[in-house]
Amino acid sequence: MAKLYSVGKSAPRMGAMLLLFGLLMASLELTGAQIGVCYGRNGDNLPAPGEVVALYNQYNIRRMRLYDTRQDALQALAGSNIDLILGLPNDNLQSISSSQANADSWVQDNIKNHPNVKFRYIAVGNEVNPTGGQAGFVLPAMQNINKAISSAGLSNQIKVSTAIDTGVLGVSYPPSSGAFKNEALSFLNPIISFLSNNNSPLLVNLYPFFSDLSNMNYALFTAPGVVVQDGQLGYKNLFDAILDAVYSALERAGGSSLKIVVSESSWPSAGGTQTTVDNARTYNNNLIQHVKGGTPKRPTGPIETYVFAMFDENNKTPEQEKHWGLFLPNKQTKYQINFN
């Protein structure tokens, strides 16, 4: 059999080609890894966590957001190499904010006891009302969890943040005029300082679905051209416009250095206005492709984004809240979805 290459002359070239291929694949993996999917569990017919982790791997979904610390899910994630946002639920905020010992125990039980899980962020609270009764617990809880993470020697690996919704915006149009509501600033300003000081991102749940749907092409990433011109910046989709409004608001609040991680975004397939399978498929597939790049204001991408959610959750109310899943509880896709 004839030799395919000469060891003396072509092997180095083959080695260089293999190295280049390896670097290319690493680059592709990094780009693909910017997309995660939220694993909500508010249903009574969902697959076991081990099956869910296998489904993430089957579809090459390399990042997950979990909203609580149920140990079966953390155990299932061990050795999976899936990057994780782990949630500290709102009903735990008071306890964690009031005691460093409580925070240390939480980190021991849910982080240190799971050394083979790839924790990425801790989301301390989710969409806490800036003027509500829990608002005062968020920053102290973040500080205590961060101290516990630092004491464990994990501060370079795991960043502490909180997830907000875009209802904290007082001005969102045009995007360059984005500003937080005055009543939210006493809640947000010290959190922004904390995130800046610790090189942590701000987690933002961002839903064009809950915004102005008068132009569905603009909402679904299907507009053929610029819809909103904001000075030198042109916006072809509502997702970018909302995200850049939050960036503008951060700049006004002294957080110009912060990175935003889109910790939820999606479109429901039933239960309300414009909630169809076709719209959900269009939005989510276009979202996954779109966030490989940046926004007009922050053009250097990709945008780390988590699609909500893995499954329909039948215990949620109202009806619309039941229909955000990419997958049915039987693990079949609700519609064709491409995570690549």
Dist CA 283 CA 185 (whole Å)? 32
127 is known as an active-site residue = yes
> Which one of the listed residues 29, 183, 251, 264 is annotated catalytic?
264
Tokens coding 45: 């017919």
183 is known as an active-site residue = no
What is the model's pLDDT at position 3? 27
Q: How far is CA 328 from the centre of its chain?
A: 21
What is the model's pLDDT at position 301? 87
Dihedral sign for Cα 105, 106, 109, 113, please. Answer: negative
What is the model's pLDDT at position 30? 39
What is the model's pLDDT at position 60? 95
| Cβ-contact 85, 120 below 8 angstroms | yes
Dist CA 85 CA 222 (whole Å)? 30
Q: How many CA atoms lie within 13 A of 102 on its CB side?
A: 13
In angstroms, what CA-CA distances link 179 with 36, 129, 242?
28, 17, 11
> Which one of the listed residues 51, 127, 313, 319 is annotated catalytic?
127
Dist CA 75 CA 60 (whole Å)? 19
pLDDT along the chain (340 residues), means of 10: 31 40 38 80 97 97 97 98 98 98 98 98 98 98 98 97 98 98 98 98 98 96 98 98 98 98 98 96 98 96 96 96 97 94
